[in-house]
Structure 1
Amino acid sequence: MAGRIVLGWREWVALPGLGIGAVRAKIDSGARSSALHVDAHWRFSEGGAPWVGFRLSPDLVGGEVIESVAPIHDERNVTDSGGRRTRRVFLRTPLCLAGIEREIEINLSDRRGMRFPMLLGRTAMARVFTVDPARSFLHGRHAPVVPPTFSLTPGRPPQ
């Protein structure tokens, strides 16, 4: 474990490729994949490739509604902590945490009722981070990022 960055059981993370400057995440080495809460998501095609658009609640990420789009990387069945299997859309996007930026896989999920809008699983932490479950928020809150520039018009749902 030498050389790994220690995280608390909860941290602020940024997903700059999705225009998310700071979101609270539960660090969960028991979960294989990472998940991000979205209030709504919709699919569309761009240049013949599958894409997804999605919307996050203002109370989850600092008071503003965030809409973003990303190419769909994969779709897989995921078993949640209650044993329920659901098919989820997976994206690949940069994660910024503790001064490190790395590309991770993240699925879009309905995490309403959960205390943390994001779950950071063990595949996102592999070979770089370790967790001290007795500590939290060791790396502060990230500065806001400028959302990526793209057009939401393709496949955008009615308001």
Structure 2
Amino acid sequence: MARAALPVVGWRELVHLPDLGLHNLPAKIDTGARTSSLHATVLDEYERDGEQFVRFAVDFPQQHVRQVCEAVHVDWRGITSSNGKTQRRRIIKTPLRIGDVEFRAEISLANRADMRFPMLIGRSSLRRRFVVDSGHSWMQTPGRKPVEGHKP
């Protein structure tokens, strides 16, 4: 049985978290990470209608913008970072759109202030949805010309 070709993502893309009001968020595609991660500062946790919620801020220092978001807090999970240390992180589940593909993704909230990208897309979000071409960028970013190669 022939499978339909999957869309191709580059090693970096602009992604959207529409329910959080976050659009054109620079993200690094990282098949070495299992869980996607978003740079966030947790402001508050609360319960509404029997569900746990988390309120958090996503800062864009270059634009002097702070976006305050709310999402259902679905879990706590031990996440091992690239330096080998395990952190206990909050997990939210929210729609994520890359190009024309939108799906619900599990995302850990983390301090990514020292990272170049405010968001990291892990392999759980990519699985059975995308193929990764690590030699290109912006393959699913409308209005951006795909770029070949890695230019730090």
Instruction: Sort the TM-score into its range (normalised by shorter chain).
Output: 0.7 to 0.9
The match for 2:47 is 45
CA-CA distance at 1:141 after TM superposition: 5.5
Q: Partners of 2:76 and 2:57 in 1: how far apart?
A: 19
Amino acid at match of 1:59: P
Of the three residues 55, 58, 70, the one matched with 1:56 is: 58
What is the match of residue 105 of structure 1? Answer: 106
Greater fraction strand: 2
Distance in 2 separating the partners of 1:110 and 1:42: 15
Contact 2:56/2:70, CA 8 A, preserved across alignment = yes
Q: What amino acid maps onto 2:40 in structure 1?
A: V
Q: Using the alignment, how far apart are the partners of 1:78 and 1:138 within structure 2?
A: 28
- Which residue in 1 is equivalent to 2:135? 134
Taking only the aligned residue pairs, the percentage that are identical comes to 38
Residue 92 of structure 2 corresponds to: 91
1:19-34 matches, cutoff 5 A: 19-34=21-36
In 1, Cα distance between equivalents of 2:39 and 2:118: 5
**Structure having greater relative contact order (Cα 8 Å, sep ≥ 6):** 1
Taking only aligned residues, the RMSD between alpha carbons, in angstroms, comes to 1.8
Amino acid at match of 1:55: A
Aligned residue number for residue 147 of structure 2: none
Q: Distance in 2 between matches of 1:30 and 1:128?
A: 16
Q: Distance in 2 between matches of 1:26 and 1:100?
A: 17
Unmatched 5+ stretches in structure 1 = 143-159
Partner residue, 1:73: 74
* 2:12 match: 10
Determine helix, strand or coil for the equivalent of 1:138: coil
Distance 2:41 2:75 in 1: 20
Tell me the residue number matched to 1:115.
116
Spell out, residue by residue over 1:47-73, the C-alpha distance to the aligned partner (whole angstroms, 9 max, x if none): 23211000011237x553100111111
Aligned residue pairs, count: 141
**Unaligned runs of at least 5 residues, structure 2:** 144-152
2:42 and 2:57 in contact (8 A); partners too: yes
- Would you say the 8 A contact 1:22–1:141 is kept in 2? no
Structure 2 Cα separation of the partners of residues 45 and 133 of structure 1: 41
